[in-house]
Structure 1
Amino acid sequence: MWRIVMWEGDRGRIFRPAASAAFLSALFLSLLCGLFYNVWKYDVERIVREEGSFHGKISGKFGDKELEWIQNFGGVSKTRVGEGTGETTLVELWFYPPGRVYEDLPKLAERLEIGQEKVTFHSSLLSRYLVPDPKNPSSVREMAILLLVPLLACISLILIIHHAFAVSMSGKVRQLGILSGIGAIRSQILGWLWLEAGAVCLKPVAAGFGLGMVACWGIMRGLDAYLRGLFPERQPLNFGYHPLVFAFSMGLILVTIAISAWLPARKLSRMTPLEAMRQRTDEKWKGRRKKSGGIFLEQFFGVEGKLAARGIDAEGRAFRTGSISLFVSFFLFAMVMNGAAMSDLSVRMTYFEKYQDSWDVMAQVREAGLEDFQKEEELREISGVTDVCIYQKAQAVTMVKGEEISEALLSAGGMGYATDREAQPVDGGWMVRAPLIILDDKSFRSYCEQIGVVGNLRGAVVLNRIQDLSKGNFRSRPLIPYLKGEEDKTVLTEAGSREKSVEIPVAAWTHTPPALREEYGTADHYELVHFLSASLWREIEEEIGGAEDNLWIRLLLSERDSAETMERVSNEMEQILGDSYEIQVENRIQDQMEHERAMDGLKAILGGFCGLLGLMGIANVWANAMGFVQSRRRELAQYLSIGMAPGQMWKIFSLEVLVLAVRPLALGILLSALGTMILLKVGALDFHDFRSVMPAGTIFAFGSVLLAAVVLAYFWGAAKLMKGGVAEALRDDG
């Protein structure tokens, strides 16, 4: 019966904008949710592959009884015994739900009488499940921000459907009033509206979701091929679409359609049948106050400006979501492009330019130490190599006494800026980290000659400098002496238990580190770096330990700007070391080229996402343009009936589109400029340096495309509106 009551011939005309909006929203929502789910899935798979899937680890001396007790501990869903060291057993644990790990694992360690230093949380994986680390609540910040973006986009898409239904349903209030007048009750009207909305929108929604999933699959395949060309060894990007993602996005669309169809019935319940039957489109202007924009248009463009302001005010709600989407997409695109340019500039300044004289070819040799490395002379004989440095890293701590602190550091605030992690207060001073850089004997002698010290293999060279934290920013802080440098001995303590210590001679206190691609005093401002020879390390290694399992090799070449020479040396290095060790070789020029390709890929991915947001805004504008004829046909008829020429009508439409299209872009330009200045301030970058890499042309092109699309959509609707005559426009909607 409802097909007869709701007039089959009228349904398509009234609901066409809503059906189009439902199709576009379903398409973009399916695509957006699919893309973000696959990005999240890829990140989780990467962490699992590189680090494991466990939620926490615990190590100790466990027998079968303890292992069984751990397995049965509350909250533990799975355990796996891994490889430990000596008599120590390493147990990997999974919890359900994962959020219990931060509460239950410390309790488990306490029951087993094991110190908290033997407990490890898999924070990187847990943060992907939005499980925050109690000691570092910001660990889930990146994931929360990542989820916030699609959430805002989903809200925008839902508003597109809602506003399209609002435009479509507004034309049915009078019709519903007639039905109410002949005895239809509210529940019947609501049922008719739901059935009609479902009949009109279910097929477009299903088609949109299917097309969105296909588009997501195509984008993921293309992205995987693109990244595989940049990074052949990276993990493949496999497409997936979880049923819960489908259920969430589809449910969101259907609930929005149901609520949007319910609103006219709710509105009708507040009106008498006579009021509903007398409903006219010109009532939407009643009670509206004149805004400043309307005053401006009236002052400069006369009657056409006043009518344009009236139209903008009346249709502003319908186009508001599109305007917001256009603003958000342009603002995010500008910020992403500027942010990527700033990131690229920062990396160039703090990495490539800073270390360009410190290395040409680097190799990381896994599971190796200086004591058993036998390929040093073969590396030095490679043609074109001018210097070879082989080094290993270790961790220790040392004590800084109050009387040892330099006058310059005392004037800059002393240890007052140090956190407890950087400098732990103890009796008579502070315990600070003492990173050890262990050089091969030949490189250590060469380094000592460089700083003017007689090479004593049994002495340590201490890097005696620290940033003046009271001045400037991290890019421009001056370096000042850390300690007075009067001591001829230094005490190194085991970094873990701090039970063992060793005293060694100090060969020199210096401000000049060796030419290595290493950072000192940045992550930890108060660390006191020691450079040791391999001979000295062999004497003290048993006492303090803490050496990393990897070995590093740095080569300097005679032809420092030749990519061919660096590639040849890298290949020869792999031939020398590849048969005996597991290595990873990189060269400076290739590293910079890969960085540039990665930045281009990042810009393409993020720019594509911003373009997707722009398409959402354009889709909203087009959806509203489809309802343009229905919502303003009587308004046009009124203007034409009083003798207004078509040229004047086009002037009105031109002023409207100028305001509706340019306003969000102008606001986006203003706020993106402000945001860029804030980022420059936070990143301590100079605007003159940034100006040389600012992507103004790309941003302008993106804004021009958005502007052209909006103008085309608006004038398409206006042209369709102008085709009708006065008699047709004034004909009763019912």
Structure 2
Amino acid sequence: MNIVNKLTLRSMKANKRRTIVTIIGVIISVAMVMAVATISVSFQDLMKKREIQDNGYWHIAYNAITEKQLKDIRAEKQVDKVVVKQELGYAQPENNQDKQRPYLQFEFFNKTGFDHFPLEIVNGRLPENPQEVVVTEDLIKMAGLDYSLGEKVNFDIGKRMGTKRDGSKEVLGKHVFYGQTDTDGEVEYSESLQVNRQLEVTIVGVVKLPNWITAWSSYPVIGLLDEVIVEAESDNGEQISALVTTHKINGSIYSYGSNQMESLGLAEQQLSFNNSLLRYDGITQDDNFRTVLYSLAAIIIAIIMVGSISLIFNAFAISVSERSRYLGMLSSIGATKVQKRNSVFFEAALIGVISIPLGLIFGWLGIWVTFQIMNDTLQQALDFNIPLEVLLSPAALLVATVVSMVTIALSAYIPARRASRVTAIEAIRQTPDIKLTGKKVRTTRIVRRLFGMEADIALKNLKRNKRKYQVTVFSLVISIVLFLSVTYFTDVMKKSLLLTQDGENYDIVIYNMPEEEQATILQKIAALDTVEAYSAKKGMGGYAYITEAQFAEATIHPSMSRSEQLTTSLDENGRYPLSLNISILDKESMEAYAAQIGVDSKQLFDVTKPAVIVQDTIRYKDEDLKKYVEKKVMEAKVGDRLVLMQGKRGENHEFIPTEEYEVGIAATTDEIPLGGERSYPQNMNIVVSEEVALQFPFISEQVADKSFSVYLTSKKPMQTEQEILEIDESLYMRNWYTMRQRDVQMITLMSVFTYGFIVLISAVAIANIFNTISTTIALRKREFAMLKSIGMTPRGFNKMMQYESYFYGLKALLYGIPISILCMYGIYRASDSMFDFAFRLHWLSLTITIVAVFTIVIATMFYATSKLKRENIIDALKQENI
């Protein structure tokens, strides 16, 4: 080790506190980079497993293919595995107690299918030959078909045939509800089962209902497919599906699939891609989604990397500033620029050797602890049975190490160049950091008059120690920008989720509740511990007249301008007919909704002065713009009148108004009630109490005999579903919670990790602020001793340090908040390609930031100055900082 490196090592030992703080800052930065890499790998693996559980493991699906097409698919070099699936049809057992799901749906897979479409066995085993099947546990619990293991059962299997009121017939698929109603509320199809085969099978197992099964009107029965038989039958026109995985997973998979579609002679609807699974491999066909994803990621990564580099750079800059005198002395005895520069790189290397391994360990360990803490909570709250596993990827280790080394090298580069330029005379006189002129430290008289002499001296101190002042302010600015940007990023994701799920603000919906038992059943459901809120609602369509002044942006049809639409659609009274969704709530539900939006509920039940609540702002996906938007559908205000219309359909299905009913607008809102209608353009949602609604003939005629649908939110939706079935097993329910949980889970995980990054980078910033301020205070011992020697009292000294803290905080906020707003607007613009909502500042986050900045600075300043209280003035004046 050469003499310069030995002196560097001695300097690091002599300034242990600064060295330790620097090492801690670098460890946290490295840990953060390691955490990013580890989370990327682990989260990708987790979401892929989740997607496979929900939708199976496949990349491309070829539907309704023949034997020859199947052989051609298998012969493709790019194809890895092929899952063959055949939907044999439906059976309708007479002893099925579930009148809403009267069918059994038979789906058979080849052996590969059981590997790629996971089943969770409750009892028994999986099929081992084509004569064996498994059934789901809800078939036994809800349908009452208590098949025993080993029992042989004969089924008549066929197609669901639907006959419409006009006599036309069509084959009904799995997406059609049994007894599905049309827009007029009447049953859309009268159904029958067209039997085309008989099948004898043995029940060998019971499994949990898999998420990848779509069975809205049936219970699945899953069996093993004998491919030899299927292929032989395929010559007779039997059609099957092939779901394939490919060897190469890259962006060309979409073009490959399209080419295969053409070469196999398939129609476009026969080809589909597992977009969700491919998305977790970084492959997506949605350019807007890719733009949003990459833009947001690039902004956040750039902020984090700039923060890490700048904060570590500050630590080395302070080190060079402290060592400037001895570097100059080395220069006076012959040290070269290269030697002085290398002394800084040597210090960086030593810190890196210590910090990088520890940072890698702590980064991985921190994510492991986070996953362990989150596992039980997420699995219980989200019915999420896949554990969060931390993967230790060699690629992640390599990326984290290389990025950390580059970060440290870049951080040390400028301080190293500065060290190489320190001359002997400048260093011994200690003039490089403080080069004063009267103009540079001049302050305005206003400061002294308003705040006193202490504030004036504090401001002069900051001006004369400009470099260290800037370092501290910069650290604070980085912390401010990171906190506000990442907080806004998380809020954008939540807002985006709200836009995509508008109208699905409930967990469970119960349809067609028996009216005579409704009050009793509702009372029992409301008493369940897991139920948070419920709403009983009837719904129907309708029309209303609005005036030209009330005409809003979302009322305009995409193919027309405002003036064209008004010209062609206004009636002789200057009114425009607007389509309505009318939500009718019972008394308790209406009171809860009124309280939610802050409206006096009494006026909503007054039948002498009927009033409604109007949802004037809607959220929907604009198919032309390919993004979600938030717009007004009516320019309305409280006290306005709204004209509801009764009418009939003409010969050409045109609407002919017959009666008009005027109602008042009690409130306008962008919030929908629990179970409210989804928003659409040229369509407005209104909410009315049952008491008021029944006063209008055209409403009472349609809904008086209808039963309420009940929408509810729950702490534990899966448990609530079972508890409701125990109350009345004949109730027909849909659990929307299970359909939403993947998006909610992503937001939850993202929030935990993004706020974790805030904590990490803020810890680096706070360590650097502490290092900068405490070192600056220590180097100013002589200055403070001089002020005390000429009569500054302890009270005046404390006041001066308070003002320095205020100036630090104000300057940091002056720069940090505008830069943060620019970053937030950048995130907003990045999301604008897919979502359209107004840009709004988050005042709570800004308030938290302002309070935190002053707290950190004042606490650090007084901690550093507390050690100077016992200093002897004479000793401090004699002290030399070397």
Name the TM-score class by shorter chain: 0.5 to 0.7
**Counterparts of 1:251 and 1:561 in 2: how far apart (Å)?**
48
- The residue that corresponds to 2:50 in the other structure is 46
Equivalent AA in structure 2 for residue 655 of structure 1 = Y
- State whether structure 2 residue 259 is matched by structure 1 residue 107: yes
Partner of 1:503: none
Which residue of the partner structure matches residue 176 of structure 1?
Answer: 327
1:659 aligns with 2:811: no
Counterpart amino acid of 1:50? D
In 2, the alpha carbon distance for the partners of 1:711 and 1:249 equals 35
- In 2 relative to 1, CA 304–207 (structure 1 residues): closer, same or farther, beyond 3 Å? same
Matched, 1:96 2:238: no
The offset of 1:122, in angstroms, is 3.4
Mapped to 2, the partners of 1:190 and 1:672 lie a distance apart of: 35
CA contact (8 A) 2:57 2:245 kept: no
The aligned residue for residue 417 of structure 1 is 557
With the length of structure 1 as denominator, give the TM-score of the two structures: 0.62
- The 1:132–1:319 alpha-carbon spacing in structure 2 relative to 1, beyond 3 Å, is farther
1:305–1:652 Cα contact (<8 Å) kept: yes
Alignment partners' CA distance in 2, 1:11 and 1:337: 40
Structure 2 residue identity aligned to 1:619: A
Give per-residue Cα distances to partners, 1:351-402, cap 9 Å, x unaligned: 66xx8xxx98537xxxxxxxxxxxx999998993599xxxxxxxxxxxxxxx
Label 1:597 to 1:71 Cα distance change in 2 as closer, same or farther (>3 A).
Answer: closer
The Cα of 1:276 is off from its aligned counterpart by 4.6
CA distance in 1, matches of 2:61, 2:865: 66
Matched, 1:331 2:484: yes
Task: Give the whole-Å Cα distance in 2 for the aligned partners of 1:563 and 1:263.
Answer: 55
Asked if structure 2 preserves the Cα contact closer than 8 Å seen for 1:78 and 1:94, the reply is: yes
Given the alignment, which residue of 247, 263, 266 partners 2:417?
266
| Residue of structure 2 in register with 1:544 after alignment | none
Secondary structure at the aligned position of 2:252 is classed as helix
| Percent of aligned positions that are identical | 17
- Counterpart of 1:78 in structure 2: which amino acid? D
* 2:679 match: 522
Partner of 1:708: 855
C-alpha distance in 2 between matches for 1:621 and 1:561: 46
1: CA distance, partners of 2:412 / 2:552: 68
Query: In 2, distance between residues paired with 1:257 and 1:53?
Result: 42
Match of 1:300 among 450, 455, 461: 450
What is the CA deviation profile of residues 97-122 of structure 1, one whole-angstrom value per residue up to 9, with x for unaligned ones? 52222343333333444344433333
Deviations 1:71-112 (A, max 9, x none): 646xx4734344256424334243635222234333333344
Of the three residues 866, 876, 879, the one matched with 1:719 is: 866
**Matched-pair contact (CA < 8 Å) for 1:82–1:89:** yes
Q: Counterpart in 2 of 1:551?
A: none
Matches for 1:213-612 after TM superposition, within 5 Å: 213-270=364-421, 272-280=423-431, 282-283=433-434, 289=440, 297-298=447-448, 300-313=450-463, 314=466, 315-328=468-481, 331=484, 335=488, 361-362=509-510, 384-385=520-521, 417-418=557-558, 473-474=631-632, 476=634, 486-488=649-651, 522=679, 556=708, 571=723, 573=725, 586=735, 610-612=758-760
Tell me: CA distance 1:557–1:632, structure 2 relative to 1, closer, same or farther (3 Å). Answer: same
Q: Provide, for residues 226-260 of structure 1, a one-character-per-residue CA deviation record: whole Å limited to 9, x for no partner.
A: 22332334533223343333333333333333344
- Structure 2 match to 1:501: none
Aligned to 2:769: 621
1:223 is displaced (CA, Å) by 1.7
On the 8 A contact 2:477/2:813 being kept in 1, the answer is no
CA deviation map 1:128-166 (0-9, x unaligned): 444442x53334514642564354223212221110111
Aligned partners of 1:55 and 1:511: how far apart in 2?
Answer: 55
The answer as to whether partners of 2:448 and 2:455 remain within 8 angstroms in 1 is: yes
**Correspondences of 1:182-221 after superposition (within 5 Å):** 182-221=333-372
Query: Contact 2:552–2:633 at 8 Å: present in 1 too?
Result: no
> Match of 1:2, as an amino acid?
N
Matches within 5 A, 1:76-91: 76=78, 78-83=80-85, 86-91=238-243
Distance 1:149 1:508, change over 3 A: same
Q: Identify if the C-alpha distance between structure 1 residues 638 and 44 changes in structure 2 by more than 3 Å, giving closer, same or farther.
A: farther
Larger relative helix fraction? 1
For residues 280 and 659 of structure 2, the distance between their equivalents in structure 1, rounded to whole angstroms, comes to 44
Asked whether the 8 Å contact 1:409–1:481 carries over to 2, the reply is no
Are residues 409 and 634 of structure 1, via their aligned partners in 2, closer, same or farther at CA, if it must alter by over 3 Å? same
**Taking structure 1 as reference, are residues 670 and 282 closer, same or farther at Cα in structure 2, changes over 3 Å only?**
closer
> Which amino acid is the alignment partner of residue 860 of structure 2?
A
Q: Aligned equivalents of 2:258 and 2:479: distance in 1? A: 49
Unaligned runs of 5+ residues in structure 2 are 88-237, 524-542, 561-616, 623-628, 637-641, 662-672, 685-705, 830-834
| Greater alpha carbon shift after TM alignment, 294-303 vs 338-347 | 338-347
Change (3 A) 1:713 1:82: farther
SS of 2:383's partner is: coil
Q: Tell me the CA shift for residue 263 of structure 1.
A: 3.3
**CA RMSD of superposed structures (Å):** 6.1
Cα deviation digits, residues 442-474 of structure 1 (max 9, x gap): xxxxxxxxxxxxxxxxxxxxxxxx999999934
**Aligned match of 1:650:** 798
> Which digits, 9 at most, give the CA deviation of each residue in 1:387-434, with x for residues without a partner?
9xxxxxxxxxxxxxxxxx9999999999973479xxxxxxxxxxxxxx
Relative to structure 1, the CA distance from residue 626 to residue 475 in structure 2 (aligned partners, 3 Å threshold; closer, same or farther) is farther
Higher fraction of strand? 2
Q: Paired residue for 2:7?
A: 6
TM-score, structure 2 normalization: 0.53
Contact 2:618-2:680 within 8 A present in 1 as well:
no
Deviation at residue 712 of structure 1 after TM alignment:
1.4
Between the aligned partners of 2:503 and 2:41, the Cα distance in structure 1 is 34
The residue number in structure 1 matching 2:105 is: none
For the residues of structure 1 that align with 2:424 and 2:544, how far apart are their CA atoms? 89
Aligned length: 593
Using the alignment, how far apart are the partners of 1:567 and 1:184 within structure 2?
76
Contact 1:385 1:555 (C-alpha < 8 Å) held by counterparts: no
Cα pair distance change 1:206/1:651, threshold 3 Å: farther
**1:121 aligned to 2:267?**
no
* One-letter amino acid of the counterpart of residue 82, structure 2: R
**Change over 3 Å in CA distance of 1:517–1:175 after alignment to 2:** closer
Q: Is the 8 A contact 2:509 2:733 kept in 1?
A: no
2-side partners of 1:271 and 1:672: how far apart?
Answer: 36
Please give the secondary structure, in 2, of the residue aligned with 1:245.
helix
User: Structure 1 regions of 5+ residues with no counterpart?
Assistant: 364-375, 388-404, 421-465, 492-505, 528-553
Partner SS, residue 283 of structure 1? coil
Distance 1:148 1:132, change over 3 A: farther
Distance 1:301 1:483, change over 3 A: same
Q: Which residue number corresponds to residue 26 of structure 1?
A: 27
Q: State the AA in 2 paired with 1:656.
A: E
| C-alpha spacing 1:123/1:476, structure 2 compared with 1 (3 Å) | farther
